[in-house]
Structure 1
Amino acid sequence: MKISKTKIFIVFIIILVLQDCQSKNDQYHSPLKFTHNVYPLLDTENSRWFYFTSASRPFGMVNLSPDTEVHGTWGSGYRYKIDTVKGFSHIHAWQLSGPSVMPVTLQSTNNSIFKDYYSKFNHKTEIITPGYHQLFLDRYQIKAELTSTKRVGFHRYYFNKKSSSPAILFNLNGQLGPSKMAKGYIQLSDNPAKILGKVTNLPTRRRPKSCTVFFSAHFNAPIKDVVKDSITGNYLIIFKDIPNDELLLKLAVSYTSENNAEINLQHELPHWNFDKIVTEAQEEWNQLLGRIEVEGGTAEQQRRFYTDLWHSLQGRRIINDINGAYPDNTGDEFKIGQLPLDKNGVPLFNHYNSDSFWGAQWTLNTLWGLVYPEYMYEFSMSLLQYYKDGGIIPRGPSGGNYTYVMTGASSTPFIISAIQKNIIKENLDFIYQALKKNHMPGGIMGKAGYEHNTNIGGGLSYYLKNGYVPYPFPEPCNAFHLDGAGQTLEYAYQDWTLAQLATKLNISDEAGYFFNRSKNYVNLFDSISGWMRPKDLTGKWMEDFDPFKFKEGFVEANAAQATWFVPHDLDGLANLMGGKENAASKLNNQFQEAENWGFTSGTSHDLETHPEYRRIPINYGNQPSIQTAYIFNYLNKPWLTQYWSRKVASAVYEGISTNRGYKGDEDQGLMGSLAVLMKIGLFSMKGGCSTEPYYEIGSPIFDKITVHLNQKFYPGDKFVISSKNNGPNHYYIQSATLNGEKLNSWKIFHADIIKGGELILQMDSIPNKKWGVSVNTDSSSQ
């Protein structure tokens, strides 16, 4: 059969079009498409020491990045508006910093370089992506590039051929972020291109014991000279010749010994291929970010979503070596602990440094428990390791030691959520006893914020005797957050979570005991004012009570925000308010007022105490009221949950900017996690701690969300959320199906999601006030 030239031409055009479509499709499914969507500079004008990270791996011991401010916990690290690099430090962790280095060129070896070494840089020459950071040091005409493995920082510096002697300044003494660094020293080794050293983080108000960081550093060029400054105690490493004007530095850290730092380096980075490590770092990030794929929305919304997801995996850091050795500072004397190993000598889990899990019940519990169960497992096992070593499960450990950051027993719901989701299946009786200890006299509930040496500020004795913690606190106490009403609400919820585990283990008498304690919130509800109201030791209500006064009896909140902190018994709270209709009206009024403020106390955490901003009735810039949009589900008005959760997500957690991002305290992934959950339309009011954990459906902003399940933990392959007829104003669910079956409930059980399947939501701009109403909330069950 003859084929005309015209047909051949048409076929040729079709092939070209298909190839072009395939090319675009391949680009969309690029191996690094998720990391390319991350905007690391988000909110960096307001960042704190552990907030910003660039050249790091997920939860890496090393989180290498440039520092433009080096003094203090707040307002330090990488601050976008400061145009001066003051070093590249390897550890930006909760109450910890580590070796800081600065490449320089020398006109002479005079000691002025030890005090005058900062360099300007320009953001126009800067490239940042997860696992990589590049900038140009104007003063020295040095192009600096950073990347890392889990425990090794990798530097590549290009020196100008006309520059004087290349050198690297090691700053091991003086203030660095939250810590004063001391006792820093360097020693040469038999290898002319290697040094060993250590630096000690002196105690802080929050971390009461010293913590030493050991390191091993290898260069790709021999060392010409080492100069120690007698005043600062810092060191200058000078090189004579570097190959092709390119100086490479590999610096591995350890919290146990120089030898283990060297083992970390040899295991993780035995070669000198910088570009290979950059690619591997980006691939690791890409794999984790790709656990959730979103379609629809705007390009900016997608970019912000993956930036939020990236932040949900930030801040908390590994502290054990590759061989399982870790620092144990829980006792009177420092010890080197050893994690259990598998048959191949690999630790069964990693040990972590971490800020508090305060607020994790609405953030990390849900996101990690669904999407990253392996990390929820590791963190739970790490918290239990602290118990085995020191006798208490921490709420925020630093350097292998307790810090008693924040209040309550915030680790209890985190670990119980992992148990209820079958992420942890073994030794449950042991775990229950470990958790229970924190809820009894001598446990962590007895300690207020940073109360290292006493057990009174938590007010647990009053809570057990009177059913509430008094405010003002009646005894002298050197601690933070002595806010009795807020402490009471927190303890009541955490007692309820412990009752759920006791129920699971058939310890009925103790389940009843903790369930009764969980009702203590009732003791602080003032029916006259309609708010939770502090009481003093005699039971007298606070005089001149103003529900909008900040931090007067409530931890980092006012009464209007904190009154709704009863996630375990919203039916009971509504009854106190005169019924669900009254409660819903009250809360809706609060949201309407809060919308005028943008739902946050200003645009950053430091504005929270501003005389005007502190009076906001709902604050999505801090943890105490970030659950409130989902309360409407429990008040038989799910359309208001859909409306307000979408409004909050759009107002608070949208946009790509250096001067705002979370408008408050991001706290090592807590706000990033919350933003992700609100945007995919899944939440968990009870923190996943019910005997049968479930999620509440909100209002997804994307047309399609695919959650790829970890099949080492869950049986399903993927869970898809499809929103039909979605759009900027299409907040409302009209109907829903789950795996083809009609769903008229805003509840969806964890056990159903992890089997895989598809939730289809039909959306519109008009609320369907019949969908999802009168669902059994089971608020008061044990």
Structure 2
Amino acid sequence: MFVFDENFGQRQGFLFVLLYAELYYLNIIQNIMEIKLNLKQAGVLAIAATAALSVQARGGKRLSEYVNPFIGATTNTQMAKAEHGLGKTFPGVATPWGMTQVSPNTITGGDNGSGYSYEHTTIEGFALTQMSGIGWYGDLGNYLVMPTTGPLHTYRGEAERPEEGYRSRYDKESETARAGYYAVRLTDYDIRAELTATPHGGVMRFTYPENECSRIQIDLARRVGGTSVRQYVECVDDYAIRGWMRCTPDGGGWGNGGGKADYTVYFYTRFSKPLERYGVWSAEFPEGMGRKLENVTSPEFAEAVRRAKVTERPDRMEGDHLGFYTEFPTREGEQVLMRTAISFVSLEGAEANFKAELKGKDFERYCEKAAALWDEALSKIKISGGTEDERTIFYTSLYHTMIDPRDYRDVTGEYVGGDRKVHKTDAFKKRTVFSGWDVFRSQFPLQNLINPEVVNDMINSFVTLAEENGTGVYERWEFLNAYSGCMLGNPAIAVIVDAYMKGIRGYDVEKAYRFARQTADRIGHHPELGYSPGGSGISETLEYGYFDWCVGEWAEALDKTEDAGIYHRRGQAYRKIFDKEKGWFRVRNADGSWADWPEKGRLQEWYGCMECNPYQQGWFVPHDVSGMVEIMGGRDKVLADLESFFENTPREFYWNPYYNHANEPVHHVPFLFNRLGAPWLTQYWTRVICADAYKNSLAGLCGNEDVGQMSAWYILASAGFHPLCPGETRYELTAPVFDRVEIALDRRYAKGRKFVVTTEGNAPDACYIQSATLNGKPYNRCYIDHEDIVRGGELHFVLGRTPNKQWGVE
């Protein structure tokens, strides 16, 4: 069934939407795509459609209806107990892997990467591009659209005084979001804004009060965490405009310029009202004024934008800080539609994207098509059992994992490459936004199973980018071709090797391997020492060692024996920073001496570590657990230490010095119990984390979503398996949250059609595996191989309330 807001069912198109939805389920959508029904015709046909739809409703909700886009949509630092904030997701509309994300923006400055935080009380406008779940000031938030009435404001205004700008307060009770649709009422203007998206575009519908001077205005300069540095706009005809916005590091953005983001957004927009009274504002800045975050949030910047010169009815304009507006009278309740397509390639590309996706004017139809795309994407995994909240958490998590890596191509197959030239390919989809340090752990292992073609695209994108930009190396945090250098490690290597080991090989393997070697050799490796000294030396030594091991595994699989030996030896680097006296990993200086041990010992955050402490980072030797256990003092000592690590963790799982699920370095740790011969503890703690760290609420993500990683962990763990070491084909088994999890397999990469995990005796307090069968045969291992999954079949667990300490013990 549809979930409509309170006014939706009163609209003229309601019966047609019901009819359209039911016909979709009958798989004859193609036959009605161009049918034009008037209200009388819709009413005649809707009787049967409504009856049929009620039958469908009894069969359960559409998968897209389980998506709650507000989960994690806050940057609140107090609740998170850390400066990193909570989920940092956006509540607006996207399509699976789409180029656009049409969403409200409540803030330009600060560490608010999505441009939105639920507790903010005003909205600056609605942008066409966003990032999901990231820190470091963020980027995108381009093409900020705001419907207004009354005097024209060229500056956004301050949150405390929105009436001094185009910003507006909004009615929180009116704010509605679901897969394919977002709506809110802007109280300062009494305007209802509704949003939806297509893969390359966005559709906005504004419902106005009676007013002689209603308006749509577009801040072409605005950007999350900064500004674009040059803009262009021109009128195409009486209803359309097009143009571009140039974004460089000089305008802040990703890492306030430190992320090296350098891109241009092209746009093509058509309005449903003619362009009769329109204009462009252009601001000029004092000599020497910068354009980064500290500048665009300054009083001097605000004053310069307030004094912007307005030019009426220009054919075209180019400048450093432009905005466009169109004005028109409106009747009470009059709706104005605005359709926009974007491109990162060219004006022609934006128009081609528009013609391919945005010809129609039926807003509800766009909403339905977006929801239908999500129905299809979410159907890769079907679950039963669990509570309504747990099903919502699951499908919202799955939704969050399929936003990035987004498709960077136009419908023509063109994309801008690392050499800043236009390339064209139909062989793969050029993808971008790779939050490497986060997503190699769960997000890409998940996609290896449910969307292997996306992973194959990403690897082709890695390889072509490294070739196009002439570096011959992979970036750890790639953003629109930029090598940002954010975080540490060589995670692209792990993603590629894990995919290769699991049969995903639709790329130039030899070239991909060569670039992996070059990446490992040039980035992070200290051949003269065999470890990383000082600074973040613990994190760097452990993580680079793991990525070196990945290269060694790949070399071995390719029969490159000499290479395998080199990189496997480098994978033992962790041994060189283990201090037997302290019994833990310690920062080591370049001269071989130990750095001072901190007062808090291994609980000292940032001591030798990236965003964590040595206690958390020290467990990261996934490729050699037995060796790690040996130097730590043996199985019993390590098991006791690991139990203490979890028992000291606060149950809300917000930022803390123990098992800090709010950040990625520990995400593999619950599965270490399997390797220590205590699989019942993996079962217990993964259930606790699923229950307490994830909620169907605003604070439902205990830390940053990080481009799908936080959600992917939940998907895999709640399904009953998760990798400990990407690059191996082994998954660690645990107790599923749901009674049945059915994973659709891609026959291009798998022998089977589906893999099903079922449970018997499942209950919130029945988290312990008593026994298991694989395809009807007894199964007594606490792990499963990738080959067993992609062959298809059923893994069945019998669960109980007390541990079975004989099952699955290695």
Query: Is the TM-score greater than 0.5?
Result: yes
1:184 maps to 2:236: no
Give distance in 1, aligned partners of 2:802 and 2:52: 39
Measured after TM superposition, the shift of residue 597 of structure 1 is 5.4
Secondary structure at 2:546's aligned position in 1?
helix
Q: Which residue of 2 aligns with 1:429?
A: 510
Give distance in 2, aligned partners of 1:226 and 1:515: 65
Give distance in 2, aligned partners of 1:708 and 1:41: 27
Measured after TM superposition, the shift of residue 129 of structure 1 is 0.7
Q: Which residue of 2 aligns with 1:163?
A: 211
Give distance in 1, aligned partners of 2:629 and 2:329: 74
Q: Which residue of 1 aligns with 2:176?
A: 127
Q: How does 1:582-661 map to 2 (within 5 A)?
A: 582-594=637-649, 596=650, 598-601=652-655, 613=656, 616-653=657-694, 655-658=695-698, 660-661=699-700
The 3 A distance-change label for structure 1 pair 617 and 113 is: closer
1:753-778 CA deviation, whole Å, 9 max, x = no partner? 1121111101111111111111xxxx
Measured after TM superposition, the shift of residue 111 of structure 1 is 6.3
Partner amino acid, structure 2, of 1:628: V
Match of 1:196 among 242, 247, 258: 242
Residue 50 of structure 1 contacts residue 315 of structure 1 at CA under 8 Å; is this kept in 2? Answer: no
Residue 694 of structure 1 contacts residue 750 of structure 1 at CA under 8 Å; is this kept in 2? Answer: yes
Measured after TM superposition, the shift of residue 355 of structure 1 is 4.0
What TM-score, normalized to structure 2?
Answer: 0.82
Measured after TM superposition, the shift of residue 198 of structure 1 is 1.2
Secondary structure at 1:720's aligned position in 2?
strand
Residue 279 of structure 2 contacts residue 325 of structure 2 at CA under 8 Å; is this kept in 1? Answer: yes
1:470 maps to 2:533: yes
1:769 maps to 2:809: no
Secondary structure at 2:449's aligned position in 1?
helix
Residue 144 of structure 1 contacts residue 156 of structure 1 at CA under 8 Å; is this kept in 2? Answer: yes
Number of equivalenced pairs: 693
Measured after TM superposition, the shift of residue 132 of structure 1 is 1.1
Measured after TM superposition, the shift of residue 316 of structure 1 is 3.6
Secondary structure at 1:97's aligned position in 2?
coil
Measured after TM superposition, the shift of residue 648 of structure 1 is 1.7
Q: Which residue of 2 aligns with 1:375?
A: 454
Give distance in 1, aligned partners of 2:232 and 2:533: 49
1:579 maps to 2:634: yes
Q: Which residue of 1 aligns with 2:4?
A: none
Residue 493 of structure 1 contacts residue 518 of structure 1 at CA under 8 Å; is this kept in 2? Answer: yes
Q: Report the identity percentage.
A: 28
Partner amino acid, structure 2, of 1:469: S
Structure 1 unaligned blocks of 5 or more: 1-19, 341-346, 446-457, 473-482, 602-612, 775-782
The 3 A distance-change label for structure 1 pair 587 and 209 is: closer
Residue 382 of structure 2 contacts residue 741 of structure 2 at CA under 8 Å; is this kept in 1? Answer: yes
1:587-614 CA deviation, whole Å, 9 max, x = no partner? 11111112x354441xxxxxxxxxxx4x
Give distance in 1, aligned partners of 2:701 and 2:166: 33
Give distance in 2, aligned partners of 1:406 and 1:66: 28
1:104 maps to 2:148: yes
1:234 maps to 2:322: yes
Measured after TM superposition, the shift of residue 365 of structure 1 is 2.5
Secondary structure at 1:744's aligned position in 2?
coil
Secondary structure at 2:97's aligned position in 1?
coil
Q: Which residue of 1 aligns with 2:557?
A: 504
Residue 53 of structure 1 contacts residue 63 of structure 1 at CA under 8 Å; is this kept in 2? Answer: no
Q: Which residue of 2 aligns with 1:64?
A: 102
Give distance in 1, aligned partners of 2:443 and 2:720: 15
Q: How does 1:23-102 map to 2 (within 5 A)?
A: 26-27=56-57, 29=59, 33-46=62-75, 51-74=89-112, 77-93=115-131, 95-102=139-146
Partner amino acid, structure 2, of 1:322: V
Measured after TM superposition, the shift of residue 50 of structure 1 is 6.9
**Which shows bigger deviation, 270-279 or 90-99?**
90-99
Give distance in 1, aligned partners of 2:476 and 2:359: 36
The 3 A distance-change label for structure 1 pair 580 and 21 is: farther
Q: Which residue of 1 aligns with 2:474?
A: 393
Secondary structure at 2:345's aligned position in 1?
coil
Give distance in 1, aligned partners of 2:795 and 2:637: 32
1:84-116 CA deviation, whole Å, 9 max, x = no partner? 11100111136333111111123x568689962
Q: How does 1:453-492 map to 2 (within 5 A)?
A: 458=524, 460=525, 463-472=526-535, 483-492=536-545
Measured after TM superposition, the shift of residue 29 of structure 1 is 4.1
Give distance in 2, aligned partners of 1:662 and 1:571: 32
1:503-550 CA deviation, whole Å, 9 max, x = no partner? 111001101110111011111112222211111111112223310000
**Which shows bigger deviation, 319-328 or 130-139?**
319-328
Match of 2:489 among 383, 396, 408: 408
1:663 maps to 2:707: no
**Which shows bigger deviation, 621-630 or 524-533?**
524-533
Q: How does 1:339-354 map to 2 (within 5 A)?
A: 339-340=424-425, 347-354=426-433
1:538-590 CA deviation, whole Å, 9 max, x = no partner? 11122233100001101111011111100000011111122222211111111
Measured after TM superposition, the shift of residue 148 of structure 1 is 1.2
Q: Which residue of 1 aligns with 2:735?
A: 699
1:679 maps to 2:742: no
Give distance in 2, aligned partners of 1:651 and 1:501: 38
Q: Which residue of 1 aligns with 2:570?
A: 517
Partner amino acid, structure 1, of 2:510: D
1:363 maps to 2:442: yes
Structure 2 unaligned blocks of 5 or more: 1-49, 77-84, 132-137, 158-163, 284-304, 306-320
Q: Which residue of 1 aligns with 2:21?
A: none
Secondary structure at 1:700's aligned position in 2?
coil
Residue 72 of structure 1 contacts residue 179 of structure 1 at CA under 8 Å; is this kept in 2? Answer: no
Q: Which residue of 2 aligns with 1:551?
A: 606
Measured after TM superposition, the shift of residue 270 of structure 1 is 1.9
Give distance in 1, aligned partners of 2:326 and 2:220: 16
Residue 196 of structure 2 contacts residue 204 of structure 2 at CA under 8 Å; is this kept in 1? Answer: yes
**What do you get for the CA RMSD once the two structures are aligned?**
2.3
1:292-331 CA deviation, whole Å, 9 max, x = no partner? 1121121111111111111112354332211122223x44
Measured after TM superposition, the shift of residue 713 of structure 1 is 2.6
Secondary structure at 1:509's aligned position in 2?
helix
Residue 312 of structure 1 contacts residue 668 of structure 1 at CA under 8 Å; is this kept in 2? Answer: yes
Partner amino acid, structure 2, of 1:127: T
Give distance in 2, aligned partners of 1:426 and 1:318: 17
Match of 1:733 among 759, 769, 773: 769
1:267 maps to 2:352: no
1:479-518 CA deviation, whole Å, 9 max, x = no partner? xxxx011101001111111111111110011011101110
The 3 A distance-change label for structure 1 pair 686 and 181 is: same
Match of 2:592 among 517, 536, 539: 539
Secondary structure at 2:672's aligned position in 1?
helix
Give distance in 1, aligned partners of 2:507 and 2:323: 50
**Which shows bigger deviation, 738-747 or 250-259?**
250-259
Secondary structure at 1:719's aligned position in 2?
strand
Partner amino acid, structure 1, of 2:171: N
Measured after TM superposition, the shift of residue 83 of structure 1 is 2.0
Secondary structure at 1:466's aligned position in 2?
coil
Measured after TM superposition, the shift of residue 708 of structure 1 is 1.6
The 3 A distance-change label for structure 1 pair 719 and 209 is: closer
Give distance in 2, aligned partners of 1:24 and 1:193: 41
Residue 440 of structure 2 contacts residue 492 of structure 2 at CA under 8 Å; is this kept in 1? Answer: no
Q: Which residue of 2 aligns with 1:287?
A: 376
Give distance in 1, aligned partners of 2:674 and 2:789: 19
Q: How does 1:316-327 map to 2 (within 5 A)?
A: 316-327=405-416
